[in-house]
Structures are given as structure tokens and as C-alpha cells.
Structure 1
Amino acid sequence: MRKNEEPMFKTYDTLEQATHAQPRVTALLACQDNLMPASWHMPISKSPFRYAVAVREENYTHALLEKHRSFTLNFLPFDHYETINILGKIHGDSEDKLAKSGLKVEGKDSHENVLLSASDFIYECKVCDTYKNGDHTIFIADVTKIYVNDKQSEKPMLFSGRGKYGTVEETFTLSKRSIK
């Protein structure tokens, strides 16, 4: 870098200070009838299929997950970003988030967690382990069933933080080739 040039990157010490976009797929976590928007989640094992979600201890959903040890992850298409945003501002211990969402319930899984009709797909999860780290608990779950909607959207919902939502514009399918 030359003397009078500004640095290419600004440096931050905490996530709260940084203002960068960090797109990640968003889902509605349902524990019983309570809904919580979740974007801090990921698959962690293929066989057995295991999934991890990170939930702040102060959230009402955290207490429900500790009590019921199961949940569903409902992956809604991009069309529902306003609903997800509203649900992220409501506290489940004082308001009925499912009723406020206006979303139709298709049924319940074997642990009485809701299955939302609008979902592209749903993971039915049974908690097998927890790990507290920082200000979140990571709930690790066995995915016991996968529900796939025949009318799946091609626009998954992405959350970039700070109220920003998006979806994919283009997708490409590349064939797997062996490297010689």
C-alpha cells in the first residue's frame, strides 16, 4: 500500500461492529407450536444425518429445546421473508408466533412439532447432544425424517444480517468429473 492510499479492508474486533453481509439459508425452527427464525445452522454429518443449530440461551426457544429435545426445521421459500422478519422481533413466551405468522400447519411430527405447509422441505430432528459455546448453545440433532414438497420453490431464502434478505438469481448444475 502506498502512503496516501486507503486500506482495502476495515478491521473490526467483534461481529456487532462489523457491517458485512453474510448470506446464509434461513429456516423456521419449530419446537412444538413455537417458531423461531434460524440462520445459524448447518449439516454436520451425512451418515448418520445430523444437523446443528445455535440458539441463544436467553431465547424462549432455548428453554423449549432443553425441555422437549426435538424440533423441526422448516425451510420456506424467499416469498416469506417478511413473515420471517416479523417473527424474529416477537418473543414466543409472550405472544403466539404461530398464530401471528399466518402460516398453515400441514401437521405435526412424531414429537408434536409443527410442519408448515409453505415449506420447500422440512427436517424432523431429535436432539442427541448439546454444546455451550460463547453466547449460544449448539443443539446437535439426528435428522429422523425429511419432508420434501413436490412444489419446491427455486428461490431459497437467504438472510444477510441486519434485516437484509435475498435469494439466488442463477443456479448452475455442473457434472462431476473425475480428475486424471
Structure 2
Amino acid sequence: MKNVMASGWHTYIGSSPGMYGISLRKETYSHGLIEKSGGFGVQFLPAHRSELIQAVGTFSGRDIDKFQHFEIAYEDGVTVDVPILLEAYLAYECKVVDIHTCGDHDWIVGEIKQAYRDDELFLDEDTPEFSKLHIPLYVGRSTYLVADNTLQKKVHPFYLDK
């Protein structure tokens, strides 16, 4: 069974090997699918798709086929049985390596087995080209800010006097 969901708490947590963590409540449909399959996908969609991000985080896959209902195009992952959204500018296929309970959520850690990236939207390996890529930033209560080329850059080097 395939599903898509939104996670308000997630992060890249290691690079040798690449690891990614997501936070989910145990009772969610997605949590059960991840436990059963041993894998999950991480998808990053551009800001103009924030309404879709909110929708897939609002409705449960127990009740509707979100891929059909929201007309989400995807391809199957190549190393982990997860859908890879065609609109994602960055995506990871992850194999679960640890699940740790933290309060009312589980912290699910996966090793990144495959990565996808639209190189035309990045200046180098890590820096988005904000004149081309607008990134949604979830701030709670169905609200998103947009990171784009209007962002201010602040550099704060600190040096210790010897």
C-alpha cells in the first residue's frame, strides 16, 4: 500500500551514511505502513504546492487514496518500495534503521538509500537557487512562509582572540 503524508518535524541527521529522521504519532496510518514496510520516502515540494502539502497532511490514507484524489504523479522508488513524487525538487528513499519513542511521537530514522535532485534548481551541492526555487516553510496552523530570492543573508563569523 502506498501513501503520502506531511511531517512538521523532520531533519537530515547524518552524512556517513546519509540519515534522515521524521517524527510521527504511532496511531497514524503512515506510521503503520512504515513499520510494516521498513522504509519511507522524503519529498520536498516547491512553495506553489503548499496547498497539496497541507492536504496530504490533513487527510488520512485510511480514508482516501491521496494519489488518486489529489492527482499526484509519482514513480516507484528504485531501492525502497516508496513513491517518488514527480514534482519533488529533492527526494530520498530511506530504509528504517531505528524507531525511538519521544513523548507522544516516534522518531523514525532512515538510512538514505537513493537521492533525487533537480540540479537546475541548485547553485552547488547544497545551495538552492532561490531565483528559481521557492521553498515552503511550515510555521503551524496551516500556514506557510516562502523562502525565495527576497531572503536576507546574514553571515556571523566568530573568532576567538588568542
TM-score bracket relative to the smaller structure: 0.7 to 0.9
Pairwise CA distance, 1:107: 3.5
For 2:133, the equivalent position in structure 1 comes to 154
Q: Larger Rg: 1 or 2?
A: 1
1:110-125 aligned at under 5 Å gives the runs 110-125=79-94
CA distance in 2, matches of 1:75, 1:146: 12
SS of 1:65 mapped into structure 2: helix
CA distance in 1, matches of 2:151, 2:109: 32
Is residue 2:3 matched to residue 1:34? yes
Is residue 2:31 matched to residue 1:62? yes
Percent of aligned pairs sharing the same letter = 29
Q: Aligned AA for 2:73?
A: K
1:46-125 aligned at under 5 Å gives the runs 46-125=15-94
Pairwise CA distance, 1:173: 8.9
Aligned partners of 2:2 and 2:83 also within 8 Å? yes
Aligned partners of 1:124 and 1:144 also within 8 Å? yes
What CA RMSD, in Å, does the superposition of the two structures yield over aligned residues?
Answer: 2.2
Structure 2 CA distance for partners of 1:148 and 1:44, relative to 1, 3 Å: same
Is residue 2:151 matched to residue 1:170? yes
1:135-154 aligned at under 5 Å gives the runs 135-152=104-121, 153-154=132-133
Pairwise CA distance, 1:110: 2.2
SS of 1:86 mapped into structure 2: helix
Question: Which deviates more from structure 2 when the two are superposed, residues 43-52 or residues 54-63?
Answer: 43-52
Give the TM-score normalised by structure 1: 0.74
Q: Provide structure 2 residue ranges, at least 5 long, that are not aligned to the other structure.
A: 122-131
CA distance in 2, matches of 1:102, 1:173: 39
Structure 2 CA distance for partners of 1:67 and 1:179, relative to 1, 3 Å: same
Q: Provide structure 1 residue ranges, at least 5 long, that are not aligned to the other structure.
A: 1-31
For 1:11, the equivalent position in structure 2 comes to none
CA distance in 1, matches of 2:94, 2:154: 29
Per-residue CA deviations over 1:8-37 (Å, capped at 9, x if unaligned) read: xxxxxxxxxxxxxxxxxxxxxxxx520001
Q: Aligned AA for 1:127?
A: V
Give the TM-score normalised by structure 2: 0.82
Structure 2 CA distance for partners of 1:133 and 1:172, relative to 1, 3 Å: same
Pairwise CA distance, 1:167: 1.2
